[in-house]
């Protein structure tokens, strides 16, 4: 994904942002704006949305209301956004599970490509493969060697079946020729608690999902991005650790209802970009969350989303991964 700076973005969108509404279209915004968070309060999607909320409200001149509608890996709340009126008054913040759900959950209740329109990828973060300080391994290569010597004895934890960490480790095992035991949890809270207690050999999630334990009770072994994150410059990638072709990152993004007028989409995009330029916002995303800001164009996010859906659909199919 290409990053964009504030000046080029706002210059490119100035016409759409400041233009008068088209004939027959009401002025926007003209009332409260709802952002659906399809996960419980306190998680990374909720935290990022609430970090942006006051800046969006100030920029748009209207109250911005956050509505938590958790369930089905984000699919329930996203379905509500997909069924909303295309008037710019309802948006949804999604997690990387959004690209997995169409291939993983039958009867989603909406078409992810037909009913929703990409607005912006907010940011991304590599997942960190970690181990508890009580375990002996110092490098991922040592874990893989041990897993090959004794298949199905080393455990790795994820936030659930079908989560990005589950799919990434499935792909790693396929390409690296080793086998581990998947221990899925129902969300980041339970997995983080189990990780702190040393119940897992390899807790695996983004830095935000690991609850601030990296460098404390958890030792990081590798990161799953295709390149080293500038936020973790000394931590090798999975590819550097001997398993090629792995490029998987957690990501956060905003979608709108398909059919929303283009000037409204551009205005909301510009407001998001401006909010992401606030130094306090940037600092809080970087540390402690470990999120690298992307602030993509709608077009770049659309292409990225298509690729993500294709990639993880193939992993689900090839590994015969089914919901619980």
Residues 13 and 114 in one domain: yes
Residues 133 and 120 in one domain: no
The three-class DSSP label of residue 100 is helix
Residues 203 and 274 in one domain: no
Residues 96 and 60 in one domain: yes
Asked if the structure places residue 133 within a domain, the reply is yes
Question: Binning pLDDT at 50, 70 and 90, where does residue 23 land?
Answer: very low
Residues 117 and 13 in one domain: yes
Q: Per the omega criterion (within 30 degrees of 0), is the bond before 300 cis?
A: no
- The confidence score (pLDDT) of residue 9 equals 42
Q: What whole-number percentage of the chain has pLDDT above 90?
A: 79
Which of 165, 188, 223 corresponds to the end of one domain?
A: 223
Q: What are the tokens at 61?
A: 């001149």
Q: Residue range 281-304: average pLDDT?
A: 95
Say if residue 19 is exposed, middle or buried (CB neighbours under 10 Å; 0-12, 13-18, 19+).
exposed
| Cβ within 8 Å of residue 87, ≥6 positions away | 28, 257, 260, 264
Distance CA(210)–CA(281), nearest Å, equals 20
Residues 63 and 46 in one domain: yes
- The confidence score (pLDDT) of residue 11 equals 41
Residues 111 and 260 in one domain: yes
Per residue in 85-136, pLDDT (tens digit) is 999 999 999 999 999 999 999 889 999 999 999 999 999 999 999 999 999 9
Q: Residue range 36-47: average pLDDT?
A: 90
Q: What are the tokens at 202?
A: 């390899």
Question: Binning pLDDT at 50, 70 and 90, where does residue 223 land?
Answer: very high
Choose between 148 and 190: higher pLDDT.
148
Distance CA(126)–CA(265), nearest Å, equals 28
Distance CA(92)–CA(68), nearest Å, equals 10
Residues 48 and 96 in one domain: yes
Which of 206, 223, 240 corresponds to the end of one domain?
A: 223
Asked if the structure places residue 48 within a domain, the reply is yes
Residues 115 and 260 in one domain: yes
Asked if the structure places residue 234 within a domain, the reply is no
What is the count of structural domains for the chain? 2
Are 226 and 246 in contact by the 8 Å Cβ rule? The answer is: yes
- CATH code for the domain in which residue 183 is found: 3.40.190.10
The three-class DSSP label of residue 209 is helix
- The confidence score (pLDDT) of residue 26 equals 64
Residues 92 and 46 in one domain: yes
Which of 207, 223, 239 corresponds to the end of one domain?
A: 223
- The confidence score (pLDDT) of residue 159 equals 87
Asked if the structure places residue 229 within a domain, the reply is no
Asked if the structure places residue 56 within a domain, the reply is yes
- The confidence score (pLDDT) of residue 22 equals 47
Residues 130 and 105 in one domain: no
Distance CA(282)–CA(155), nearest Å, equals 35
Q: What is the DSSP string of 61-86?
A: TS-EEEEE---GGGHHHHHHHHTS-S
Residues 23 and 94 in one domain: yes
- The confidence score (pLDDT) of residue 187 equals 79
- CATH code for the domain in which residue 296 is found: 3.40.190.150
- The confidence score (pLDDT) of residue 100 equals 96
Asked if the structure places residue 312 within a domain, the reply is yes
- Give the residue numbers spanning the domain of 103: 6-124+249-318
Asked if the structure places residue 230 within a domain, the reply is no
Helix extents (H) in 107-205: 140-149, 164-176, 188-196
Distance CA(180)–CA(202), nearest Å, equals 10
Question: Binning pLDDT at 50, 70 and 90, where does residue 212 land?
Answer: confident
Asked if the structure places residue 262 within a domain, the reply is yes
- The confidence score (pLDDT) of residue 315 equals 93
In the predicted structure, residue 211 carries a pLDDT above the cut 90: no
């Amino acid at each position: 994904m290409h990053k964009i700076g504030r000046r080029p973005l706002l210059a490119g969108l100035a016409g759409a942002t400041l233009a008068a509404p088209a004939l027959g279209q009401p002025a926007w915004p003209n009332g409260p704006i709802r952002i659906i968070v399809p996960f419980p309060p306190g998680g990374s999607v909720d935290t990022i949305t609430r970090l942006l909320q006051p800046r969006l409200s100030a920029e748009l001149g209207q109250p911005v209301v956050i509505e938590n509608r958790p369930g089905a890996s984000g699919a329930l709340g996203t379905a509500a956004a997909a069924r909303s009126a295309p008037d710019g008054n309802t948006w949804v913040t999604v997690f990387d599970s959004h690209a997995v759900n169409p291939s993983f959950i039958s009867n989603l209740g909406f078409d992810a490509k037909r009913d929703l329109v990409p607005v912006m990828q907010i940011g991304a973060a590599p997942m960190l493969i970690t181990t508890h300080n009580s375990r002996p391994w110092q490098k991922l290569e040592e874990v893989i060697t041990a897993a090959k010597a004794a298949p199905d004895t080393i455990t790795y934890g994820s936030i659930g079946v079908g989560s990005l960490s589950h799919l990434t480790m499935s792909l790693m095992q396929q390409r690296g020729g080793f086998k581990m035991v998947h221990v899925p949890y129902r969300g980041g809270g339970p997995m983080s608690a189990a990780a702190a207690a040393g119940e897992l050999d390899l807790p695996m999630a983004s830095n935000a999902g690991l609850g601030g334990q990296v460098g404390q009770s958890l030792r990081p072994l590798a990161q799953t991005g295709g390149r080293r994150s500038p936020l973790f410059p000394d931590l090798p990638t999975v590819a550097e650790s001997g398993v090629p072709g792995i490029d998987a990152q957690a990501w956060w993004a905003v979608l709108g209802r398909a059919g929303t007028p283009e000037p409204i989409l551009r205005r909301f995009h510009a407001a998001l970009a401006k909010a992401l330029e606030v130094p306090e916002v940037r600092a809080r995303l970087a540390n402690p969350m470990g999120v690298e800001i992307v602030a993509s164009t709608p077009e770049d996010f659309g292409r990225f989303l298509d690729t993500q859906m294709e990639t993880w659909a193939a992993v689900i199919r090839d590994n015969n991964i089914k919901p619980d």
